[in-house]
Amino acid sequence: MPASLRSRSFVIMALLPALLIFIVFAIVPIFWSAYYGFFEWKGLGAAKLIGLDNYRMILEDHVFWRALKNNLILVVSAVIGQVSVALLLSLLLLKNTMFNRLMRSAVFLPMVLSTVVVGLIWGYIYHPQIGLLNQLLETLGLEAWRRPWLDDPKINMFAVSIPINWANIGPYLIIFIAALQNISSEIEDAAKIDGAIGWRKLFFVTLPMIWGTVVVTVILCISGSLKAFDHVIVMTRGGPAQSTELLATYMYNNTFTVYRYGYGSAVSTMIILISAVLIGLNHIITKRRG
Amino acid sequence: MIDARSEKMRGSLWRKPISGIAKIILLFYAIITLYPLYWLVISAFKSNQEFFNRPYSWPQHWQFDNITRAWDLGNMDRAVLNSTIVTISALLLTIVLGMLAAYVLARFPFKWSGVVKGLFLLGMLIPIHSTLVPLFIFMNKLGMLNTYWSLILPYTAFELPIAIFLGMAYIVSIPREIEEAAMIDGNGWWGIFGRIIFPLSLPIVATITILAFLRFWNDFSFALVFINSQALKTLPLSLSLFSDGFGTDYSLTMGAMFIAAIPTILIFLIFQEQIMKGMVAGSVKG
């Protein structure tokens, strides 16, 4: 039939360019990085096949584990600093008043800045001498609290996590407001008749109703924190002494600073595997709930 | 009656101070959130001396030459041009190819359509940084590094999934009768897409455009790895080098940041409703 032939060629012609770009630049690289992970290669000259050695080395590499731990610190700080704070704010900013809309915009605004701008501003805020934070502490008479915020390995991961939370809280706030506004007024009325007000209503009616959204946002936090890269590259480059190294910065530094292409590729593959495991776990947990 | 009224009054009497306190706390929170941006703006117009000595105060003498010096020394005109070229090209590709794919996946049931949808869904979960090394090696072999294409194609690839899923959800809601009528009028599928589906989908195209604009314009990691040539540096990339090259000239870097931040802040102020809605749709789907 000519008509169905025509639609078939349309399907192919219309879908193919998008599919091709997507597969070549997003899907295939995953397999390449797993493949390059089997080689020792300095980027120039011949690559040497070394089998699973890179992957074995990763498992014994304490910097890799430290990077993973730092990523997990970011996950925890994101769940507290982004999800919980956004949830609290969304309960306060739920009603569509002028004041609330202005507040939502204020919280959302940092989201539209480039990660480089965010990293640079906060780098200046944390700067040991000229930094706004230390100057503020001095003004307040709290000179003993002054710190080299990004250089002290005890606190620099927390210092790094604050700008990331600052920049990313907005979307979570808006997601929670959307979820809360979807709770039907009948349920609200029923809860009121049953005497559920204040805290009781919050814990027994509101939170269970939006639990699905809370689960999704936690997952977004996990995958977002595994992707963390830009802010840290701009603020600390993973230093000092690799104390703020993340999986992605470790991959970058291995490949493009010390030219261990094979090892960097193997770290890339590990990032994908870890993400897949976490997403798979989430799938199992949420399925059991549903 | 009287009881009910007095209870109501008691309620509102209580609620007013509480909501007043909540408002003050919220306002305080908003001020803390906005302060770093306010600080960026005032610092961009101060001398280095003033930046250090009076960090909180309003600039005494507005130094507009921070902005002009940053513009000249940082080759910002070149960076703005590069960012514009890359962003607009990737936007066009994302929108045209994404909407075409969305139309096919929304309307034409074929054998592999489930697989293709699943593949695009997978794309939203891929951590983009884990593709930097293989893409770098691949582009190096093809001689694609240090070209506009080395940014345009990966930007498009990673934005297509969101564009396609937003587009599909929208196209499904367009009544089929309109297409049938257009077909009777003698249009082929390309004509129907170009004359009917695409124009009707403009609201979602607007959302996709704004989200993609913010992502492309602000991207740092792809530019960091794929672009070395001074002439091709995008805005975030030249900004990141600013902080190294002009180490102690703080107000100069602040001026450069001001140049980089103003366009996205303006876009946000104009399109905020659409951006907020789009971010929700994009992030929930992802």
Measure Cα distances from B169 to A63, A177, B207 in Å.
Answer: 44, 21, 13
Beta carbons of A42 and A260 less than 8 angstroms apart: yes
Beta carbons of B157 and A21 less than 8 angstroms apart: yes
Query: What tens digit of pLDDT does each residue of B75-121 get?
Result: 888 999 999 999 999 999 999 999 999 999 999 988 889 999 999 98
Please state the φ and ψ torsions of residue B46, each to the nearest 5 degrees. Answer: -110, 160
User: Residue B7: is its pLDDT beyond 50?
Assistant: no
Interface check A128 vs B, CB under 8 A: no
Query: What is the enclosing helix (H) or strand (E) of A28?
Result: helix A28-36
Cα gap B120→A19, rounded to integer Å = 8
Beta carbons of A93 and B26 less than 8 angstroms apart: yes
Residue in A with minimal Cα distance to B44: A121
Name the DSSP letter for residue A80: I
Please state the φ and ψ torsions of residue B60, each to the nearest 5 degrees. Answer: -75, -50
C-alpha dihedral, A99 to A102 to A107 to A111, nearest 10°: 160
Measure Cα distances from A112 to A158, A231, A237, B124, B187 in Å.
Answer: 23, 14, 23, 20, 41
Q: A13, A75, A120: which to substitute to probe chain B, counting the most B Cβ within 10 Å?
A: A120
- Chain A hits for B131, CB-CB cut-off 8 Å, are 25-26, 29-30, 33, 268
Rounded (to 5) percent helix, strand, coil in chain B: 85, 0, 15
Confidence of residue B52 (pLDDT cuts 50, 70, 90): confident
Q: A112, A215, A251: which to substitute to probe chain B, counting the most B Cβ within 10 Å?
A: A112
Interface check A115 vs B, CB under 8 A: yes
Residue B206's pLDDT is 93
What does pTM read for this prediction?
0.88
- Chain A hits for B39, CB-CB cut-off 8 Å, are 121, 125, 132
Cα gap A114→A214, rounded to integer Å = 27
Cα gap B255→B190, rounded to integer Å = 48
Higher pLDDT, A286 or B274: B274
If you write DSSP's letter for every residue of B10-57 in order, what string do you get?
A: HHHHHHHHHHHHHHHHHHHHHHHHHHHHHHHHHHHTS-HHHHHH-SSS
Q: What percent of chain B stands above pLDDT 70?
A: 90
Cα gap B260→B217, rounded to integer Å = 10
Confidence of residue B247 (pLDDT cuts 50, 70, 90): low
Cα gap A156→A154, rounded to integer Å = 6
Residue A261 burial (CB < 10 Å; 0-12/13-18/19+)? Answer: buried
User: Residue A228: is its pLDDT beyond 70?
Assistant: yes
Both tokens of A140, joined, read 């307040």
- Chain B hits for A14, CB-CB cut-off 8 Å, are 100-101, 103-104, 189, 193
Q: B21, B43, B129: which to substitute to probe chain A, counting the most A Cβ within 10 Å?
A: B129
- Chain B hits for A175, CB-CB cut-off 8 Å, are 280, 283-284
According to DSSP, the residues that pair with A49 across neighbouring strands are A39
- Chain B hits for A116, CB-CB cut-off 8 Å, are 218, 220, 236-237, 239-240, 260
Chain centroid to CA A111: 13
The verdict on a CB contact (< 8 Å) between A223 and B220 is no
* Model ipTM value: 0.88
Rounded to a whole number of angstroms, the CA Rg of chain A reads: 24
Beta carbons of B127 and A248 less than 8 angstroms apart: yes
The verdict on a CB contact (< 8 Å) between B267 and A112 is yes
The verdict on a CB contact (< 8 Å) between A112 and B235 is no
Beta carbons of A267 and A250 less than 8 angstroms apart: yes
Beta carbons of B275 and B214 less than 8 angstroms apart: yes
Residue among A112, A121, A255 minimizing CB distance to B36: A121
Cα gap A226→B130, rounded to integer Å = 10
Q: Which residues fall within 8 angstroms of residue B206, CB to CB, at 6 or more apart?
A: B274
Beta carbons of A109 and B41 less than 8 angstroms apart: no
Mean pLDDT throughout B154-180?
Answer: 93
The angle, 0 to 180 degrees and rounded to 10, between the axes of the packed helices A98-108 and A156-181 is 140
Name the DSSP letter for residue A143: G
According to DSSP, the residues that pair with A39 across neighbouring strands are A49
The verdict on a CB contact (< 8 Å) between A112 and B265 is yes
Beta carbons of A94 and A205 less than 8 angstroms apart: no
User: Residue A287: is its pLDDT beyond 90?
Assistant: no
Residue B123's pLDDT is 84
Chain centroid to CA A146: 29
User: Residue A212: is its pLDDT beyond 90?
Assistant: no
Beta strands in chain A (DSSP E): 39-40, 48-49
User: Residue A161: is its pLDDT beyond 80?
Assistant: yes
Beta strands in chain B (DSSP E): none
Mean pLDDT (chain A) is 88
Identity at A50, one-letter amino acid code: I
Confidence of residue A64 (pLDDT cuts 50, 70, 90): very high
Residue among B157, B188, B257 minimizing CB distance to A117: B257
Highest mean pLDDT among A19-23, B12-16, B68-72, B273-277: A19-23
Least trusted range by pLDDT, from A17-26, B4-13, B72-81, B169-178: B4-13
Beta carbons of B170 and B203 less than 8 angstroms apart: yes
Which A positions 216-235 lie with beta carbon below 8 A of chain B?
216, 220, 223, 226-227, 229-230, 233-234
C-alpha dihedral, A270 to A273 to A277 to A279, nearest 10°: 110
Q: What angle do CA B158, B162, B164 make, to 5 degrees?
A: 105
Residue in B with minimal Cα distance to A271: B130
- Chain B hits for A272, CB-CB cut-off 8 Å, are 126-127, 130
- Chain B hits for A264, CB-CB cut-off 8 Å, are 133
Total beta-carbon pairs less than 8 A apart between chain A and chain B = 253
